[in-house]
Amino acid sequence: MTRRLRLAFFRISQETNALSPVRTEVEDFRQAQLLEGEELLRMCGRWVAEAPGFLRNAELSGFVRAARELGGDRVELVPLFSAWAVPGGKLSARAQRWFCDKLEADLRAVGPVDGVFFSMHGAMGAEGDHDPEAAFLRVVRGVVGPDVPVAVTMDLHAHLSASKVDASTIIAAYRTNPHRDHARVGYRAGAILVRTVLGEVRPQLAWRTLPMVLGGGTTMDFLPTMRPLFRAMRRMERDPRVLYVSLFMCHLWNDSPDLGWATCVVTDGAPQLGERLAEELADAAWGVRHRLPPHFPSSGEAIRAARRARVRRRLGTVCISDASDMVGAGATGENTRLVKALLEEGKGLVSFAPIRDAVVVEELWGVPLGSEVSTWVGGKLAPEENPPLQVRGVLRRKEHTRTFGRAVVVDADHLKLVVTEGPPLAMRPSFYKDLGLRPWKADICVVKSLFPFRLYFALLNRKTIYARTRGNTDLDAYRRLTFDGPVHPKDVVADWREADRRRRGAT
C-alpha cells in the first residue's frame, strides 16, 4: 500500500505597526483566534467560518480544499494551529519565543511531513527582530530539513525579504486590494504544494525588491493606476510554466531597513523565465512610483463634506476613515481628534465613532444604564500623541465582545461613542450593530480601516472620506523610519537595481 503524503499547515498572522507603543502578546492572539489540531481542521470546512466575524473562508480553508480535491486519498492533512491577532504593535520578545517554541514542539510532535503550508501576513515585527516571520520559517526548516517544500501565503502588503525567500519553496500573495481573495490564494498555493509533493511540478522562485515605500496612487487593483500591473500578472500566468506571480506593495509602518515594494514569480523549473518576469514586473511597479495617494482633508473638512452630502446621507451613511488612527493598520485606536471634531462641529449629524480606553470601560462597567456620565477618554496608551478628551453623555449599553473585549456606548447627543477595552477594529457595520446601533440611521460612521471597510460597508456607504487627524498611520509616517539607503519618495532615487542587488545579495 502506498504511503499517504503528509501536509502540515498552520497560521501565525498579525500586521505590525512599528510606531505603536503597545506590544502584542500571546493573549492578543487568544482574544482573536488561537485554534489547534482537529478544531482547526473542522473550522476549515466549506460550511464553517474559518475566522468568525471576519472571514468565512480564508487561506487555510483554501489550502484544505485544494489538498482534498487534488490530493484525495494520497494526502493526509496535519493541522497544527492557527494564531491570528488584530493589527497592532510589535510582538513582545516573549511572544515571539512562545511561537517559535510552540511551532517547533508541534512540528516534532506530529512526526515527519512531506510538505508544510504556512499562512502569514508578511508584515510582522517583534522586539529586537525586524522579521520574526523569517524566524518562524527557520524553525520550520530546522525541523523538516532543507528539502521538504514549504508554501507560504502573504498579504500583498507584506515585506518580502531575502530571509523569507531563502526559506520558502512557494510564495503567493493576495491579488486584490481591498483583499477579497484569501481563500483563492490559499487554494492556488495549496494546489502548487500538492503538485510539488506528488512530483508533478518543481517550483523555483525569482524575485526583485524596490527601494520604494509609496506609490501606485490608491493601490486598489481595479483602478486605473494599478489595474494594468495586475492584468500583466495574469497574462504572465498564461504560460503553463508560470505557477504564480505576486506583487508586494509593503506595509508603510514596518521598520525593516530594507522595506520596499517587491515582485515574486514561481515557475515550474524555468528559472530564466522567472528572473525575466520578476524584472519586468519590477520595472512596471517602479513606473507608478510618482503616483502618490490623494490629499486627505482635516477632521473639520471631512465633517463639512459629509454635511454637504445630504442626499447620500438620506440613502445610507457616510464613512469617514480616521486615516491617522487606522486600527486595521496597527494603530492604537485611541486618537481623540476626530471625536472632538464630531462633538464640536458635527451637531445636527448623527455620528457613530469608536475609541479605545480600557480605563474608562472599567470605570463605567459598574454604572447603571441610563446614568449621566462624564469621563476623559483617550490618551492612556500614547498621551504624547493622543490628548485626553472630556465626554459627557448617557450610558446606553455594555457588552462583552469576541474580539475587542468589553465595550460601552455613551450617548453624547448627536454622537454615539463606542468605548472599547481592546483595539476597536471598526470596519464592518456589525461593529456598531452588535452594540445596538443602526449604521443605516447614522449620517456618519467612523471606521478605523484603510481598505476593507469599502467591501463590508458597500451596501450602506454612500460616500467615503479619509480624514487626516495626526497619528501613527499617517501616510508620511515613513519619514520617521530609518532605511538601509535612499528610498522613494523620502529620497530621490534614479534607479531601483542597485538597491535590489544589494538587498538580494545578487552579484
The rounded distance, in Å, linking the Cα atoms of 494 and 220 is 25
Phi/psi zone of residue 444: left (φ > 0), alpha (ψ -120 to 50 degrees), beta?
A: beta
Query: Region 97-112: what's the mean pLDDT?
Result: 98
Helix (H) or strand (E) holding 417: strand 415-420
Three cell numbers, residue 141: 526548516
Question: Is residue 367 classed as helix, strand or coil in its secondary structure?
Answer: coil
CATH 3.40.50.2300 occupies which residues in the chain? Answer: 5-201
Residue 54 has pLDDT above 80, yes or no: no
Beta bridge partners of 9: 79, 117
Residue with cell 506593495: 249
Greatest Cα pair distance in the chain: 75
The pLDDT of residue 507 is: 64
Q: Could you tell me what percent of the chain has a pLDDT over 70?
A: 99
pLDDT classification of 45: cutoffs 50, 70, 90:
confident
pLDDT in tens, 446-463: 999 999 999 999 999 999
Q: Are 103 and 136 in contact (CB under 8 A)?
A: yes
Residue with cell 538580494: 504
DSSP 49: -
pLDDT in tens, 469-486: 999 999 999 899 999 999
The pLDDT of residue 48 is: 82
The rounded distance, in Å, linking the Cα atoms of 158 and 247 is 10
The pLDDT of residue 163 is: 97
Query: Region 377-385: what's the mean pLDDT?
Result: 91
Q: What is 5-201's CATH number?
A: 3.40.50.2300
172: nearest Cα among 189, 197, 150, 191? 189
Cβ atoms within 10 Å, residue 125: 28
Residue 96 has pLDDT above 60, yes or no: yes
Residue 46 has pLDDT above 80, yes or no: no
Residue 387 has pLDDT above 90, yes or no: yes
The pLDDT of residue 353 is: 98
pLDDT classification of 426: cutoffs 50, 70, 90:
very high
Helix (H) or strand (E) holding 398: strand 389-400
Question: Is residue 103 classed as helix, strand or coil in its secondary structure?
Answer: helix
Residue 1 has pLDDT above 60, yes or no: no
Mean residue pLDDT across the chain:
95
pLDDT in tens, 154-173: 999 999 999 999 999 999 99
pLDDT classification of 57: cutoffs 50, 70, 90:
confident
pLDDT in tens, 304-335: 999 999 999 999 999 999 999 999 999 999 99
Residue 2 has pLDDT above 80, yes or no: no
Distances (CA, A) of 464 to 178, 308, 400: 14, 13, 29
The pLDDT of residue 50 is: 83
pLDDT classification of 402: cutoffs 50, 70, 90:
confident
The pLDDT of residue 503 is: 96
Residue 266 has pLDDT above 60, yes or no: yes
pLDDT classification of 388: cutoffs 50, 70, 90:
very high
* Residues recorded for the chain: 507
